[in-house]
Structure 1
Amino acid sequence: MYDNDPMRALTPDELAEAWRLQQAGVEHQNSGRLERARELLRGGLRLTGWTAGDVGPADTARVTARLLISLSYAEAYLGSTQDGLALLDHAEQLTADEDRGILVHQRGLLLWFAGRWQESFTRFNEAEPLLRRHGPAWLLGNLLLNRAGVLGDLKRHREARESLAQCAAIADDENLPLLHAKATHSLGLVEHYLGNVPEALRLLAEASQWYERHSPDLLTVVKGSQARALLDAGLVKEARNVARAARELEEQPTSERIQLNAQIAVIALEMGDWDEAIQCAREGRKLAIRHERPILAVWMERLELEAILRSGNVTEEFARNTVDLMERQRSFGIPGFAQISEVLAARALIAVDRLNEAEKLLSTGALANGPSAIAIRLNRELARAELAVRRGDRPRAQRYIRNGLSLLHRHRSRLGSIELQAGVSSLGRQLAERGLGLALESGRASTAFSWSERVRAQAYRLPTVSLPEDPRNADMLAQLRKLRHQLSSDETHGRADPTKLAECRRLERTLRERSWQTPRTGDTVPLAKGVDVRRRLTVKDEVLVSYLQHDGTLHALVLDGERTHLRRLGTAAESEELARRLRADLSASTGRRLPERMAATVRASIARLAEKVDNALLAPIAALVGDRDLVIIPTGTLTTLPWALLPSLRGRPVTVTPSASLWTDISARSARSGGRVILAAGPGLVHAEAEMDAIAALYPDPLVLRDGAAGHREVLSSLDGAATVHLAAHGHHEPDNVQFSRLDFADGPLMAYDIVRLGDPPARVTLSACDVGEATVASGDETLGFTSALLYAGTGTVVSSGVKVEHQAAVDVMTTYHRGLAAGHRPARALAEASERQAFSPFVCYGAS
């Protein structure tokens, strides 16, 4: 093993150098620089002259044993666990009694690497009293840290938390900040393992701050953990940003470079970029092979094969490759390691009609656990559904997909952030598309309706959450409002300050990340049943139209008091393009004075486009709809379509809602008997004073906030418990950070972030401002923005516009609308009558009416 002279008594200087090399090797290992650690430790062994079987003088033997013990970790991690364990066998006869705890701990660690969890746990327990007696304290802390990891693998999570708490206490008592960082990091992994993503993200963010201060070399490790947690939560873009930033860090352990390639490959899979996924997986595999990481090499190979499967390029040879990969992963003997490859192999076998083999794999697979459990279990349900479809058993296929979507909904219900709830639906996208496709293929309208409600706007079914009153949050919000107020003032005076804008973005990003750490409890809104929806439609003689898109085709479900109908429309892309152009022309006609000829041309274009959209979306179902009031559930970019502009809807009450489940829930609530009328105006609106005066005159004793009295705090507090609220203020939609879409008031903005903190949200809100009806549409037709924040918080009806509005036109429409409300008309009816006063009124009634 080491062809040196026999071990001898070292000179004091040689002995000191051997110990220096051992300690330096450990320090490099603790910082993740394993190759350098191995080099130093091997150098120490060459200095001692160690040869297998040698004992030598006591001082030489002791330092040699410690070098072997330390080297075993690097050899196990960089190459083979068996090589590492063999080094510990050699160290056994050289180890001094006071170092026995160190040796036993290291053996437990390597057994953990090998997946021999119970043996590892036993060794850690043996080592604990030895280390408590002889030390060192930092190693006792590491033992508690590692034992927590094994306990997590053994699903003994309460004990894992206790072990990590003891570790953190030792770190604090002994002033070991890096150990504290690792304990916090590990606790975040435990919470992630349990599916508690908000708490996991909080702990990982805290660990990141500790690493940044005390061991920047390990930032890559925690950033990788953060990316995995964000990805499991469905925040795909955010996970990609974190992973890419981590890849740019200068110091990266080889294993983390490989795992970052894996993370980016997985993200590419989520985003449908098969080529990038394959490229990253291949790069990671080459790196793993070059550095003798067989487990990581197989992992990267699995990602490459999954990308090929998702691209649809499945052959008999490919199926054989997936089965071969599965067998190799099983050979590692690590429980759960082959689970995802089993599902991958099963799906490949299904694709080439080797159905019996696939069924055997799916029926014997173990129950998935751990951070990736949700993805494994969803993929397993999807594979079972695909198998059932191949065998012509559609009811069974739908049952498997329902199981998957129910599992997904339970997972989402634990997430406090509306963004996480909306984003996590990407995990079930394939399931939802498959289920909806089967329902549409069946031609049964009632089945299609049930499936449409399962797959869309699920975040609105979850109970609202009040963000914690955290002093740090409050301080950052105060800073953000001040900066936004200054930027607004600068913009008014034609100035721009990129430094202030950058600081705004930083604060928004930090607050946004902290919102991901908020847990959720409470009951969910039940899925609407077709019979209940039809009963409520009968009460007001309304018709519900739910638009769906699948495989590029747009469909309409039409429900009235008696029946549910399904109609195929045109291509989804064509309808969405028409809607996009209509919105663009509306924006072009507003906010600036156009030459009369150009203005006439734009108005004519708006009229033509509105008629084309009408023909695409409503003409095919006109006979079913008749002239009754409408409830519309849009899809994709139709969410912010100005429906009142469509010729067949002029003067007709229309309510736009995210889902029938939300509409039914709002409609079933008792109307609020009390609550004030609140009117608030922001600065810089020429017609705001006249608007406030005209509307205030319609109500008895309204609370009117304007000028200096209309600060964001006063406005926010007045919203709690209000019956009717009218907000006239400049609005801004932030598509990249929707929680900070905002309305400008006297001392700073009121943000969507603030709205979900309301204890008793207002019953009806009107936003006579530009752009605050705009929304970012996430997977599953989840809408995110200021209007959706009000609906999410519990407001029943919101009237707003997704495009710019001429101030005078807004005054005219809004005054007439409130006159209708004051006369007792429903919001949709009042808005329809008011909108007839303006040819191109873009206001929409959202929620229920």
Structure 2
Amino acid sequence: MASIRVRVLRRAGRFQLRARHAVHDYRFADARTDLRSALSALDSVDHTGDPELTAMRVRVLVSLAYAEAEKAGVRLGSLDIAQELIQQLAVGPLRLELQGLVEQQRGFLLVRAGRGGEGMLLLDSAVRHLETGLEQGVGDPDVLAGLHINRSLVLMDRADTDGAVAELRRSVDLAERYELSAVGIKARHNIGYIAYLIGDLPTALRDFERAAHECQARSPSLLPVVRLDQARALLAAGLPEEAARHLQDALPMLRKQRAGQDAAEVEVTLAASALLSDRVREARRWARSAERRFIRRGNQRWAAVAALAGLRAETAAALAAGRVPPALPAVAVKLAEELRGLGLVDETALALMLAVRLELRRGDREAARSLLAQVPRPRPTTPVDHRMLLRLCRAELAVADSNRRRALAQARSGLTELGTARDRMGGLDLVCGTAVHGRQLGELAVKLTLRGRPRALFDWLERTRAQVYRYEPLPDIDDPRIAQTAAELRRKRREAQQARLSGRSAGALEKQTAALEREVVRLGWYASPWGRPRPVASLEEVAAALGDAALVEFAASDGELVAVVIADGVTRLVRLGSMAEAAEWAARLYNDLNALAPDVLPPPIAAVVRDCAVRSAARLDALLVRPLLSVIGERDLVVVPTGELYAVQWGSLPSLVGRPVVVAPSATAWHSAATAPAAPSARVLLARGPGLTGRVAEGASLRGIYPDAVDIDGDRATVADVLSVLDGAALAHVAAHGEHESTNALFSRLELADGPLFAYEVARLQRPPRQVVLAACELALSYVRPGDEALGYAGALLAAGVPTVVAATSRVGDEAAATAMVDYHQRLKAGLGPARALAEAVAADPYRRPFVCLGSG
């Protein structure tokens, strides 16, 4: 009989240990199977009066309660049975330990079910019991380390971030002392989550990425939860597409693990991502799916959060359509009451703010005013988008009260607060992405100032757009992991290229290369603070720097396109008509120029395409430039586009052929570039990357213009050599294929002999070159982010401190590029400024030389 008992204990113990490993790896179905097998083994013998058998049954029941909760929601029956079994044990260390074990599991499940107050009382008691047990030589340190993580969750929910971090530090200490790798990963990951809660997104993303690496090495099943929190941080940074990619990676893994709670949380986050990208139907679908899952699990708290995500989608659809269903405000108020009852402060505020906006759209100012007074004050952990929405509600109520001054004051305060959050950001795209949260506030301010003085409109346009370009880059930004990953990426690319040339399969190497590309982009999100913020340029500063030139800053509001024009120190507002029509003709011209680009186009076809381009340019000229001629006269121009107008080849518009035009992302960006110090040397770099054809690949013509230039070609055109000459150069002419990176502009790249030259690496230079000419690709065309933030390789160079960049807005043929560049550099060498030299070079063939001068000229 004794031998049977021992075999049963060993067998049950093996099942229970396997189940614990399965739970740590989020394989809950496997855990449930093992735990039921353990119970079956224990049922084969009588445990009455046997402390070891009773203790084993308690441990199995405790684990089973958690594993079952992941499938069917909180069910405390297993824990009730375990508690009854504990009462059969004699008072002593074993009973103490098991009591703590049951209390911690019951408390944790109550926390997961949204009953944090009850749960915390049990967790407090569990800590005392488990610590005492460890001191007396019984118990599992893994359980105590996990308990500190669970306590931190409750403190996070109460916005006690300091207390939560202290709990997580205790968990990390236990993990390191007892070599508990999985618990240590979770604790360090949650420390990153707290950084996310308080708005320190670079730190959060760094901690999450480190946790992801640890997961891949030690506990792959934990990875989807890390990806979920990475996505939350990316949403807070205004990067919904990048967040969605993380979530789409995580969801199938969680479904495979049958991790119901986390999978449903991913769906809620996917709803938020879709909504931030204006995909309202998709947001509504994800929110409803998540709500159903939480209801099935019995998680009332999270079901209400999912319902709130759905309400946000419904509200967005109603406001966009201009028709608010009569019952929708009442639905929002009822949900706010439910959220308040569940202790969800920020969520309560959000539901009330949605109700405020709905009532204002219905015209009920008093109802909106009453609801706004009920909105709880923001807490230290209140998300920045919630804070901006509160400002927007106050501003919209002021508009409804015909109080324009108060509305603008709310917009100003909100954007100042958003600027403070932006100043804490790391990578360039995080700085840019935060603009999305202030988009509606900025649009409201611009709309209000359209009715006022042009000067006020200029001030607001500068306040709301192209914020990345007002940061002074920090040249010492560096991260060894980025440098190491970039070097590995270049090595793998060379290996893949050599494999293809030798006829071998390069599939595996190409997959490794793609993974390294994704990693280097992610690393760039938190590598370091992007730079020191500079003040927005004043109208007086811009007017003084313009001299005899004129500045035209385009803006759109409610579908109307306008231009603020500064000339001779006078600011004027010119209304231009439909933004949609201008965008349509800009797209047509862009497509026409692309079609006209190939050198080998048959003459009859080229003539037809050219006629189309001439018509498109003439129509765009009539919409954008001719209404301004009476103001700008024959002056040189600085143009600040908006939206689709960034793709315009300004030198092809009839009124601007041969006229010097500089394109800038904002007046502030132009002013910073125009007043930048001169290059410390007269050094000229001529560099050519691999894979070029025709005359673009030749350097003889340019060597004749710049006989003293540093000429780097072929295998010598490596990243290191090009960077060393770029530092402090007056002029760099780079002919190389390139590629935009829409998810992180600093990692847009030019292909050199040994791999990609990232814009990030140019940003690290102590002395960025004065002018960079990108001769071979359409690298002026930028990815336009919310807030009119235009990024891409050329945009990243401007943000990195390069004052002038010359690049093409569309495809350009090899012959056209080569002849345009020779004409340009001859004029530059003769003493003309970049904008005038380029204008004269482009004027010789304005439809096949789509180059623009960016930054200053």
| TM-score where L is the length of structure 2 | 0.87
What letter is aligned with 1:714?
A: D
Instruction: Give 2:426's aligned residue.
Output: 416
Out of 681, 684, 695, the position equivalent to 1:687 is 695
Instruction: Give 2:268's aligned residue.
Output: 262
Q: Once the 2 structures are TM-superposed, how far is the Cα of residue 454 of structure 1 from its aligned partner?
A: 2.2
Instruction: Give 2:132's aligned residue.
Output: 130
Matched, 1:322 2:332: yes
Q: Once the 2 structures are TM-superposed, how far is the Cα of residue 601 of structure 1 from its aligned partner?
A: 1.9
Instruction: Give 2:101's aligned residue.
Output: 102
Does structure 1 retain, via aligned residues, the 8 Å contact 2:560–2:576? yes
Query: Structure 1 residues 71 and 351 mapped into 2: Cα distance closer, same or farther (>3 Å)?
Result: farther
How far apart, in 2, do the equivalents of 1:268 and 1:355 lie?
30
How far apart, in 1, do the equivalents of 2:607 and 2:503 lie?
31
Out of 390, 396, 402, the position equivalent to 1:392 is 402
Give 3-state SS (helix, strand or coil) of 1:316's partner. Answer: coil
Does structure 1 retain, via aligned residues, the 8 Å contact 2:478–2:527? no
Matched, 1:242 2:246: yes
Out of 622, 635, 638, the position equivalent to 1:631 is 638
Query: Structure 1 residues 76 and 842 mapped into 2: Cα distance closer, same or farther (>3 Å)?
Result: closer
What letter is aligned with 1:846?
A: L
How far apart, in 1, do the equivalents of 2:429 and 2:75 lie?
42
Does structure 2 retain, via aligned residues, the 8 Å contact 1:234–1:427? yes
How far apart, in 1, do the equivalents of 2:73 and 2:696 lie?
72
**1:442-488 deviation digits (Å, cap 9, x = unpaired):** 24322222221122111212342558655553343234335556777
Matched, 1:347 2:348: no
How far apart, in 2, do the equivalents of 1:733 and 1:74 lie?
46
How far apart, in 1, do the equivalents of 2:693 and 2:10 lie?
78
Query: Structure 1 residues 163 and 557 mapped into 2: Cα distance closer, same or farther (>3 Å)?
Result: same
How far apart, in 2, do the equivalents of 1:69 and 1:493 lie?
60
How far apart, in 2, do the equivalents of 1:569 and 1:610 lie?
16
Give the % identical residues. 34
How far apart, in 1, do the equivalents of 2:648 and 2:359 lie?
44
Give 3-state SS (helix, strand or coil) of 1:725's partner. Answer: strand
How far apart, in 2, do the equivalents of 1:175 and 1:743 lie?
45
How far apart, in 1, do the equivalents of 2:673 and 2:587 lie?
30
Query: Structure 1 residues 94 and 774 mapped into 2: Cα distance closer, same or farther (>3 Å)?
Result: farther
Instruction: Give 1:450's aligned residue.
Output: 459
Instruction: Give 1:190's aligned residue.
Output: 194
Matched, 1:847 2:841: no
Does structure 1 retain, via aligned residues, the 8 Å contact 2:476–2:766? no
**1:744-777 deviation digits (Å, cap 9, x = unpaired):** 4344442334322222211112222232223222
Out of 747, 755, 761, the position equivalent to 1:754 is 761
Which range moves more in the overlay, 109-118 or 835-844? 109-118
Does structure 2 retain, via aligned residues, the 8 Å contact 1:100–1:130? no
How far apart, in 1, do the equivalents of 2:107 and 2:28 lie?
19
Give 3-state SS (helix, strand or coil) of 1:713's partner. Answer: helix
Which range moves more in the overlay, 293-302 or 207-216? 207-216
How far apart, in 1, do the equivalents of 2:379 and 2:729 lie?
46
How far apart, in 1, do the equivalents of 2:184 and 2:778 lie?
47
Q: Once the 2 structures are TM-superposed, how far is the Cα of residue 815 of structure 1 from its aligned partner?
A: 3.4
**1:681-701 deviation digits (Å, cap 9, x = unpaired):** 3354543586555455457x4
Out of 412, 432, 435, the position equivalent to 1:402 is 412
Count how many residue pairs are aligned between Structure 1 and Structure 2: 832
Query: Structure 1 residues 748 and 315 mapped into 2: Cα distance closer, same or farther (>3 Å)?
Result: closer
Give 3-state SS (helix, strand or coil) of 1:631's partner. Answer: strand
How far apart, in 2, do the equivalents of 1:127 and 1:613 lie?
77
Q: Once the 2 structures are TM-superposed, how far is the Cα of residue 427 of structure 1 from its aligned partner?
A: 2.5
Q: Once the 2 structures are TM-superposed, how far is the Cα of residue 546 of structure 1 from its aligned partner?
A: 0.8
Which range moves more in the overlay, 766-775 or 297-306? 766-775
What letter is aligned with 1:102?
A: L
What letter is aligned with 2:183?
A: L
Instruction: Give 1:4's aligned residue.
Output: none
Give matches, 1:150-169, under 5 Å.
150-153=154-157, 155=159, 157-158=161-162, 160-169=164-173
Does structure 1 retain, via aligned residues, the 8 Å contact 2:35–2:63? yes
Out of 651, 654, 661, the position equivalent to 2:658 is 651
Give 3-state SS (helix, strand or coil) of 2:327's partner. Answer: helix
What letter is aligned with 1:593?
A: V
Out of 431, 434, 438, the position equivalent to 2:441 is 431
Matched, 1:362 2:372: yes
Give unpaired runs (5+ residues) of structure 1: 1-9
Give unpaired runs (5+ residues) of structure 2: 90-94
How far apart, in 2, do the equivalents of 1:47 and 1:809 lie?
81
How far apart, in 1, do the equivalents of 2:779 and 2:185 lie?
42
Query: Structure 1 residues 824 and 343 mapped into 2: Cα distance closer, same or farther (>3 Å)?
Result: same
Instruction: Give 2:540's aligned residue.
Output: 531
**1:321-368 deviation digits (Å, cap 9, x = unpaired):** 111111111112345452322322333333334434433443443344
How far apart, in 1, do the equivalents of 2:303 and 2:810 lie?
51
How far apart, in 2, do the equivalents of 1:375 and 1:267 lie?
13
Q: Once the 2 structures are TM-superposed, how far is the Cα of residue 236 of structure 1 from its aligned partner?
A: 0.9
Q: Once the 2 structures are TM-superposed, how far is the Cα of residue 584 of structure 1 from its aligned partner?
A: 2.1
How far apart, in 2, do the equivalents of 1:278 and 1:742 lie?
37
Instruction: Give 2:832's aligned residue.
Output: 825
**1:76-111 deviation digits (Å, cap 9, x = unpaired):** 886569989978986885671344543554566467
Instruction: Give 1:589's aligned residue.
Output: 596
How far apart, in 2, do the equivalents of 1:102 and 1:216 lie?
27
How far apart, in 1, do the equivalents of 2:67 and 2:497 lie?
56
Which range moves more in the overlay, 298-307 or 54-63? 54-63
Instruction: Give 1:786's aligned residue.
Output: 793
What letter is aligned with 1:438?
A: L
Matched, 1:139 2:143: yes
Instruction: Give 1:641's aligned residue.
Output: 648
How far apart, in 1, do the equivalents of 2:563 and 2:645 lie?
13
Give 3-state SS (helix, strand or coil) of 2:116's partner. Answer: coil
Instruction: Give 2:205's aligned residue.
Output: 201
Does structure 2 retain, via aligned residues, the 8 Å contact 1:710–1:746? yes
Out of 518, 524, 549, the position equivalent to 1:509 is 518
Give 3-state SS (helix, strand or coil) of 1:624's partner. Answer: helix
